[in-house]
Amino acid sequence: MEKFTTVTGIAAPLPLINVDTDMIIPKQFLKTIKRSGLGKNLFDEMRYDENGNENPDFVLNKPPYRNAEILVAGDNFGCGSSREHAPWALKDFGIRVIIAPSFADIFYNNCFKNGILPITLPADEVEELMREAEKGENARMTVDLEAQTITTADGKVHRFDIDPFRKHCLLEGLDDIGLTMEKVAHIDAFEARARAERPWL
């Protein structure tokens, strides 16, 4: 998993509450087990019409939001079914950070496992950042995980909290497999000792 340190990029506003995982990536796209390629179907039913043509009114179809790396969203983001394809699609599109007043628990946990930083802030601060994200080309923000700050284009700083263990995992680029591999020397030592002590197993 890619290490997360600092992201500076365009923030896209998505002022909707209860955005569920079927809105993020509809069920017909869940047949793959690959993490890549789902970005083109992110928010598919809002981004395209029934003929597959882009909806020009949807935020991610508007320049410069086509290259957004930060998403500012409404309350209870990622609710619904516990599909890991949702963070896969967001990451494949290029979204590295999601800022919202609250997240569904399973989606929140899945974000960390896939290199996305979900940031929870009070509703009034999210509203302020939403207004910043509506500035188009000027909707640039810097998210610094080490400092736990979000800095807007005009220099205003918002601070956020994060669990220290999850912060460590993102900074070091550790998913569940990576965490296990950190202990490989201990695992090998245990296996060698077990074989010596119980060669009949």
pLDDT at residue 123, as a whole number: 97
Is 35 part of any domain? yes
pLDDT at residue 166, as a whole number: 95
pLDDT at residue 180, as a whole number: 54
Q: Is 0.95 topped by the overall pTM?
A: no
pLDDT at residue 189, as a whole number: 67
Is 178 part of any domain? yes
**Who's near 76: CB < 8 A, 6+ residues apart?**
17, 18, 19, 100, 102, 103, 104
pLDDT at residue 198, as a whole number: 80
Low-confidence residues of the chain, pLDDT below 70?
A: 175-190, 192, 194, 201
Residues 112-132: tens digit of each pLDDT? 999 999 999 999 999 999 999
CATH of the domain at 128: 3.20.19.10
Is 83 part of any domain? yes
Contact 60, 93 (CB under 8 A): yes
pLDDT at residue 177, as a whole number: 57
Rounded CA gap, 84 and 24, in Å? Answer: 11
- DSSP per residue, 27-94: GGGTT---SSS-GGGTTHHHHB-TTS-B-TTSGGGSTTGGG--EEEE-SSBTBSS--THHHHHHHHHT
pLDDT at residue 33, as a whole number: 76
pLDDT at residue 1, as a whole number: 84
Q: How many domains does the chain have?
A: 1
Is 29 part of any domain? yes
Contact 174, 34 (CB under 8 A): no
Is 1 part of any domain? no
Structural domain span for residue 139 = 6-197
Q: Residue 15's CB: how many other CB atoms inside 10 A?
A: 14
